[in-house]
Homo-oligomer: A and B are copies of this chain.
Amino acid sequence: MPPPPLLLQIQFANAEDKQEFQKYPTKVGRRSLSRSISQSSTDSYSSAASYSDSSDDETSPRDKAQANSKGSSDFCVKNVKQAEFGRREIEIAEQDMSALISLRKRAQAEKPLAGAKIVGCTHITAQTAVLIETLVALGAQCRWTACNIYSTQNEVAAALAETGVPVFAWKGESEDDFWWCIDRCVNKEGWQANMILDDGGDLTHWVYKKYPSVFKKAQGIVEESVTGVHRLYQLSKAGKLCVPAMNVNDSVTKQKFDNLYCCRESILDGLKRTTDVMFGGKQVVVCGYGEVGKGCCSALKAMGAIVCITEIDPICALQGCMDGFRVVKLNEVIRQMDIVITCTGNKNVVTRDQLDRIKNGCIVCNMGHSNTEIDVASLRSPELTWERVRSQVDHVIWPDGKRVILLAEGRLLNLSCSTVPTFVLSITATTQALALIELFNAPEGRYKQDVYLLPKKMGKTWYSLIKYFEVIFPVATAMTLMRLSVFE
């Protein structure tokens, strides 16, 4: 029998704690980024995943009695019988996650995580499953829950449950379900977590508030999200972080991959999937020449687009100029552009006034860090007609018949209309695994009660950053990095 709903039972130690807990933004806002990521990463398997959506089973997983084939009931998923489908998804994901697979093979004899009891809270996808199963192969005991109420791939959760990982997650959880799952993950009689792997900080916060004794005895926290890292720094600043934490979000590889390398590909992918536009000969303006803008510009230029940029930071403008892009003012070129892309991180980069002057058929989209770069709100006015022409694509029609093609309603194109390659997720997952190994094996005193970046040299030489790249790159450079003399 599933445990009773738990959220209502939460007893905050005092009013101050409760207030702090509640001052976080609402889940909807707070996790909008995370959600988009998982959304797109599941989309990429949408055709395969469709079988699971036909379920007419409306019963809440919390109300179901399920057991896996070994008889264990220590999990809560939509339907453990879907395990086989999930297993196939995991196998597909393994194809492009050879870094983790390689780590698994090399370290499973040594079992560097033997004794580690990890509670994890991440998107539950095929890629995460590869991470979890790697941690298990390295000796860890894991209990897992979802960091997002929409992003769980139910079949994958089933596959994990079937192999014996206690996982508590399903697609379409309520907020109450969300916290109930987290608690079930942590609150296991006779078992006490000593490591936390988090994405967004909810699990960390829950343990910190509800299970302070667990929190204090933990050997480390690994966090990958902007939000979660921000919370950790706040805790640290307030002197309340009594356990070393590893900031995976700001590792060089994650930043380079999430921005430059990923966007270089996803700008093309996102535009093609939504509009089938031909790039060659198109006039494009990219607003902002940071890492994301650099990626977009380089890709579009290579496809034969005629690209110019806007940029207010002089160093970035300099780079754009020396890379061969005209640096312009948006107002000067807006009338002639075929595609307008924002990636500045600022608000109202494209204003209603500019949208009024844009030409018929122009595509407008956003690759930046917020959905306010294009003043979409200003387009929701009575004189303009919106027409949804396909998923993520709206025609906004002016009274004179001019159509502007707005993608993803101004949200992040790369997350809404493209996918995050498994290879990129693999790199982050490998970094997470190495961070766990490092924190768990570090000699006492090496890491204080603070937030760290993954060091170049790790406690166990074997897992040094150099090795970590060797691990990451067997696919890409089978003939190369692995044989560099430094690795011999």
Contact = CB atoms under 8 A, between A and B. Distances in A.
A336 B475 CA distance: 9
Interface stretch (A133-141, A241-249, A285-293, A480-488): A480-488
A390 B45 contact: yes
Given A261-B304, A277-B423, A475 B390 contact: no
A480 B321 CA distance: 10
How many copies of the polypeptide does the oligomer hold?
4
20 contacts: A45-B390, A47-B390, A95-B361, A96-B277, A265-B278, A269-B269, A269-B272, A278-B422, A278-B423, A280-B321, A280-B476, A281-B475, A282-B476, A298-B302, A302-B302, A303-B324, A304-B322, A306-B325, A311-B484, A338-B475
Question: Which of A315, A321, A475 lies at the interface centre, i.e. has the most chain B CB atoms within 10 A of its CB?
Answer: A321
B264 A480 contact: no
A424 interface: yes
A149 interface: no
B95 A405 contact: yes
Given A44-B276, A273-B273, A304-B322, 5 more contacts: A95-B360, A96-B361, A278-B423, A302-B303, A317-B481
Nearest to A479: B336
A339 B187 CA distance: 46
B264 A280 contact: yes
A312 interface: yes
Nearest to A319: B256
A465 B318 CA distance: 12
A478 interface: yes
A303 B473 contact: no
A227 interface: no
A329 B479 CA distance: 9
Contacts of A324: 280-281, 301, 303-307
A152 to B, nearest CB: 19
A473 B315 CA distance: 11
Interface residues of A, number: 93
A298 B302 CA distance: 8
Given A276-B419, A277-B423, A480 B328 contact: yes
A387 B88 CA distance: 10
B338 A476 contact: yes
A273 to B, nearest CB: 7
A483 B281 CA distance: 16
A265 B302 CA distance: 10
Contacts of A91: 403
Contacts of A479: 326, 328, 336
Contacts of A48: 389-390
Given A303-B299, A303-B302, A276 B322 contact: no
A486 B312 contact: yes
A264 B321 contact: no
Contacts of A280: 261, 264-265, 321-324, 476
A391 interface: yes
Contacts of A423: 277-278
A257 to B, nearest CB: 8
A264 to B, nearest CB: 7
A477 interface: yes
B304 A264 contact: yes
A281 B321 contact: yes
B476 A283 contact: yes
Interface string A418-432: 110111100000000
B95 A318 contact: no
A479 to B, nearest CB: 5
A253 interface: yes
Given A265-B279, A269-B272, A361-B96, A389 B301 contact: no
A103 B447 CA distance: 51
Contacts of A47: 390-391
Interface in A177-222: none
A121 interface: no
